[in-house]
Chain A
Amino acid sequence: MSAEFNQNYFALFGLPQRFNLDSDALDTAWRTVAAEVHPDRYAHEGEAQQRVALMMSTRVNEAYRTLKSPLARARYLLSLAGVDTQEESNTSMPVDFLMAQIEWREAIEDAQSAGDTDALDQLLTQLRQETKALETELETALDQSGDLDLATVLVRKCRFMEKLEQEIDEAAENVLSSAAPSTQLD
């Protein structure tokens, strides 16, 4: 495989390697590169070319997915610096943060059992605000102070927030599905 495609994800899209990323520029670069490497472009060519296209477009989509999500992007930057964020193994978090997690979970459960999608939407807005604040801290830690230990803790916190967001999504989906008509046909 050629050098360019083993480059890191930022270089692949011709973007500067930092946390603060222009999301629109990433979208445009992804569409540009994806268009070049997509298997559809090579369907009439030889098998070798098609195989390369499949590999490369898979990599390009993975790169896009990684850089698009602030959490995955931060994790990726840390991995480039040789830091393992240990999100699954290291779950020791500050007590106040864990208390807040419990409160979030209770609020989500309450809203789901009340079938209140508005309350779930509100929780989601609030959650995204708090995540945003964490991301601002991440930007400082990664792009300015270079404090990788702090960045690692922040990534772990963001991972908790991401799980909460998934729970809100699932709760909303459950409310939607139970409000739907019975699936019994006859």
Chain B
Amino acid sequence: MSTMALLQIAEPGFSPAPHQHRNAIGIDLGTTNSLVATVKSGSAIVLPDSEGRSLLPSVVRYLDDQGQVEVGHNALYEQSRDPGNTIASVKRLMGRGREDIDTQGSLPYRFVDTPGMAQLVTRAGVKSPVEVSAEILRVLKQRAEASITGELTGAVITVPAYFDDAQRQATKDAAQLAGLTVLRLLNEPTAAAIAYGLDNGSEGIYVVYDLGGGTFDVSVLRLSKGVFEVLATSGDSALGGDDFDHRIYCWSLEEAGLSSLSPSDARLLLTRARTAKETLSEHQEAQLSAQLSDGQSVELTLSQAQFRSISQQLVAKTMLPVKKALRDAKITVKEVKGVVMVGGATRMPQIQQAVAKYFGQAPLNNLDPDKVVALGAAIQANMLAGNKQNDDWLLLDVIPLSLGIETMGGLTEKIIPRNSTIPVARAQEFTTFKDGQTAMSIHVLQGERELVSDCRSLARFVLRGIPPMVAGAARIRITFQVDADGLLSVSAREQTSGVAASIEVKPSYGLNDGDISRMLSESMEHVHADIEARKLREAQVNAESLMEATHSALAIDGDLLNSQDREIILQAIASASEAIASENTRTINEAVNRLNQITEPFAARRMDRNVQRALKGQKIGEL
């Protein structure tokens, strides 16, 4: 799109340009499989690969020390032959420390012994789960780019609703590394509710039961007049279909009298266990046969009844979050209008039956449980990109786990309770306890338990630049802000002096900006692309879209400005336009920042007007 054309069509006095479709995608980055979807001609569709397959197995194999990879079906196929370099279910490692990961039995990977997020040793070197996930996202991005015309505006990436801040941040980092603009991180059950609700015109209380490959979520939503309001969410971010495979695997070891297996035999038997599980969703019995590397053969028959009995505890384990979510939402089972089933693992008959029994109604299975999350994400991406849609709707989501800080004696003090509607912010005042103290450390935690050691450490924030005063005199107001992605940011200000303290963040399980830049340049070297060229292009696209947005805002609400303010904004737009032509990334970014700053009061006034208008409309509607 050319800049000149933009200026011409949006010159003051003219109506804004007829809207051009912006390409946006929804990505379901799953434990077992990943998908990409988009909205074309008003309907959401999953994009297949060149061979017509929708699902991309979330498996990455490192082929050599140059960082060449294969992702998906081929990697999955080689998994048992090359288990150490073939990373599957990497989602389970995102934002997790080595100590969080249960490696007993099923994971054939070599971990590096470092604090923070777990790192894997492969033949291509040490890889973070963020880098592995980025490989999957890159393939999906390429798949999308092959099927669209024009540029990709951005992506909505889904995460389990029960993901904590570290896991969410890791997902966003992976997307950044893959060169995707993240429009929003969307909770998986909420994505499913959007796809389901908009399809069925539903109203009332719905429960989404989402059992994926490695995560379990349950969300309670109220659907009313196009508003999807999440009332409560709960779950278990380390429970999924994989655990059912593992049960069958353990059962087969016991039945066949096997003990320690080599990594590739273990991988093989796990793969067979998964096939058996899938067979049992359709049939009464499944055969499990495998030829081990020492020549020994395993031949077993597993019946549905046996499977039910060995997986009974796992099924029961999913019902606890269901009860908790209903409690938090203050909703009784009788008030639930429907239960939407999401995730391939909900195909298991014992899951269907347990849910039907608890809710006293047959669960809803009318959307493909593998695709519904990606479809919902695509619908939201389309809305966020600013494309016109048939239905006007809005999503109000919540934070899944309470945020708190460490206080004296290793106890947690909750600052933002779980199930608060986001965006949300809370401020808390702290004081110094030593004379002349100029720095202070805040330990931020996530979880429901009282002891710090039972909660998840998110980060330590070190505040510096507190003006020296006597002990107890400083009043430092710290604001914890959770944005619409469910991500936390912290800011601090000393109240008596008005000094903004500087904050240094040490994420407990995340990556810092330096790590990201390093990974980005490494991955760029690998594809021989020019990182500077990409940064310039991104800055230009960003500036163009800001100019377009500002022009259209002026066309709609220009009457809110006096001629002088209007002139200042127009000048800033003109400077941005010149900056774009300069082909200098820094100049462009500076012009964009200036334009943003100058338009902020205008933005606030526009929003005010919209609110007043909406409230009036509502009153008229009531009459």
Contacts and interface: CB of A to CB of B under 8 A. Distances in A.
Interface of A: 1-2, 4-5, 13-14, 28-29, 31-41, 43-49, 51-54, 56-58, 61-62, 64-65, 169, 172-173, 176-177, 180-183, 185-186
Contacts of B553: 45, 49
A39 B615 contact: no
Contact of B316 (A44, A54, A58, A181): A181
A172 B326 CA distance: 13
B604 A2 contact: yes
A32 B313 contact: no
Q: Select the residue from A1, A4, A31, A54 with max chain B CB neighbours within 10 A.
A: A31
B424 A61 contact: yes
24 contacts: A1-B604, A5-B604, A31-B229, A31-B396, A33-B614, A36-B610, A37-B611, A38-B396, A39-B483, A44-B153, A45-B549, A46-B599, A48-B597, A48-B602, A51-B603, A52-B604, A58-B481, A62-B425, A64-B421, A169-B327, A176-B320, A176-B324, A186-B105, A186-B246
Question: Which residue, of A32, A44, A177, has the highest number of chain B Cβ atoms within 10 A?
Answer: A44
Contacts of B611: 4, 33, 36-37
Given A37-B611, A176-B320, 6 more contacts: A43-B184, A43-B384, A46-B595, A47-B596, A54-B481, A65-B420
Contacts of A57: 423, 484
B383 interface: yes
A13 B615 CA distance: 8
B535 interface: no
B607 interface: yes
A173 B481 CA distance: 28
A29 B619 CA distance: 9
B605 interface: yes
A167 B481 CA distance: 27
Given A4-B612, A43-B184, A43-B384, A14 B619 contact: yes
Nearest to A177: B320
B329 to A, nearest CB: 13
B569 to A, nearest CB: 11
Given A52-B607, A61-B424, A173-B324, A185 B246 contact: yes
Contacts of A177: 320
Given A2-B608, A46-B546, A49-B603, A183 B618 contact: no
B456 interface: no
Nearest to B484: A39
Nearest to B392: A35
Nearest to A25: B622
Contacts of A46: 546, 549-550, 595-596, 599, 603
B596 A48 contact: yes
**Which 10 pairs, one residue from A and one from B, show the smallest C-beta to C-beta distance?**
A44-B386, A43-B384, A48-B600, A49-B603, A48-B596, A45-B549, A52-B603, A39-B484, A47-B596, A46-B546
B184 A40 contact: yes
By DSSP majority rule, is chain B's interface helix, strand, loop, or mixed? helix
A120 to B, nearest CB: 11
B549 A32 contact: no
A5 B608 contact: yes
A75 B157 CA distance: 40
Contacts of B420: 61, 65
A176 to B, nearest CB: 6
B22 interface: yes
B317 interface: yes
A184 B457 CA distance: 23
Contacts of A14: 615, 619
Interface in B11-25: 22
B26 to A, nearest CB: 14
Contacts of B243: 185
A157 to B, nearest CB: 22
Given A5-B604, A56-B607, A49 B599 contact: yes
B172 to A, nearest CB: 15
Contacts of B546: 46-47
> Which of B183, B484, B606 gathers the greatest number of chain A CB atoms within 10 Å?
B484
B607 A44 contact: no
Given A44-B385, A54-B483, A61 B604 contact: no
A52 B395 CA distance: 18
Nearest to B320: A180
Contact of A62 (B229, B250, B424, B618): B424
Nearest to B615: A14
A132 to B, nearest CB: 16
A53 B599 CA distance: 13
Interface string B533-548: 0000000000001100
A47 B619 CA distance: 32
A113 B161 CA distance: 32
Contact of B424 (A41, A53, A58): A58
A43 B385 contact: yes
A31 B549 contact: no
Interface string B284-325: 000000000000000000000000000001001101100110
Nearest to A185: B243
Interface in B565-623: 592, 595-608, 610-612, 614-615, 617-619
A49 B610 CA distance: 13
A180 B596 CA distance: 53
Interface in B248-282: 250
Contacts of B483: 39, 54
A54 B484 contact: yes
B596 A181 contact: no
B516 interface: no
A113 B601 CA distance: 58
Contacts of A41: 394
A36 B229 CA distance: 15
A180 B317 contact: yes
B490 interface: no
A19 to B, nearest CB: 21
B596 A176 contact: no
A186 B323 CA distance: 24
B385 A183 contact: no
Contact of A61 (B153, B421, B597, B619): B421
A36 B545 contact: no
B337 to A, nearest CB: 18
Given A14-B619, A176-B323, A38 B600 contact: no
A40 B383 contact: yes
Specify which of B105, B227, B615 lies most central, judged by the most chain A CB atoms within 10 Å of its CB: B615
Nearest to A54: B423
